[in-house]
Amino acid sequence: MKYYIIFGPPGAGKGTHAVAIREKYNLCHLSTGELLRAEIAAGTELGLHAKALIDNGNLVPDSVVEKMIAKKFDEVKGVEGFLLDGFPRTLGQAEDLDKLLGERGESVTAVVSLMIPDSMVHERIRHRAAIEGRADDASDEIIENRIKTYHSQTEPLIDFYSKQGKYHEVDATGSTIEENRARVLALMEKIEA
């Protein structure tokens, strides 16, 4: 099995480009955001707890997210691997993922990092909130909190995966989705080669 991580700040296009990667390489796209939104929509206890945290721009506890992902690793069949989107977001989660995969005799294949500046994060999240009606993306305060959280908790993963030789970066500042998708798929070709 292959285990890819699609990485980058909020609004970098992870969900958008994950679809193309998933289709081209027969991967199961595991978006922690979508998994959590499904729990919220179902009104489960987990979903209600997660909603309160997300509405304030905070992260959901690691143990909850890790259980959902491990369950998917067990359930999903007929794919070449998995594309993790939104996980890991912290060093602790990255270490837990290494442990979880290690217990299965597996490891992270590669990290595909979509890079955009903070100014573009604001612009794209506001745009997405308007189109999708996502309240968790609506206010400048919440967007700023998400950017700070990314820099303080998620960015250290760049060094973590670089040391393992698994970190690959792509410029995702292109003016169209198609231009950025071409860059992402070109990087995947190099990784797969």
Paired tokens of 138: 């609506």
Banded model confidence at residue 151, pLDDT cuts 50, 70, 90: confident
Q: Could you give the CA distance from residue 42 to residue 122 in angstroms, rounded to a whole number?
A: 30
* Mean pLDDT taken over the chain: 89
β 110-115/27-31 pair status: unpaired
Q: What is the pLDDT of residues 106-123, one digit of tens each?
A: 999 999 999 999 888 888
- The domain segmentation of the chain, as residue ranges, is 2-192
Q: Which residues pair with 114 in a beta bridge?
A: 170
Q: Could you give the CA distance from residue 57 to residue 43 in angstroms, rounded to a whole number?
A: 19
The pLDDT value given to residue 10: 85
Banded model confidence at residue 32, pLDDT cuts 50, 70, 90: confident
The pLDDT value given to residue 56: 81
The pLDDT value given to residue 135: 64
Average pLDDT over residues 64-90: 90
User: Given 3.40.50.11540, 3.10.129.10, 2.60.40.1120, 3.40.50.300, which CATH number is that of 2-192?
Assistant: 3.40.50.300
What sign has the CA pseudo-torsion 21, 24, 29, 31? positive
Q: Judge contact between 6 and 21, C-beta under 8 A.
A: yes
Q: What is the pLDDT of residues 33-55, one digit of tens each?
A: 788 888 789 898 878 888 888 78
Q: At what angle do helices 140-149 and 118-132 cross, to 10 degrees?
A: 130
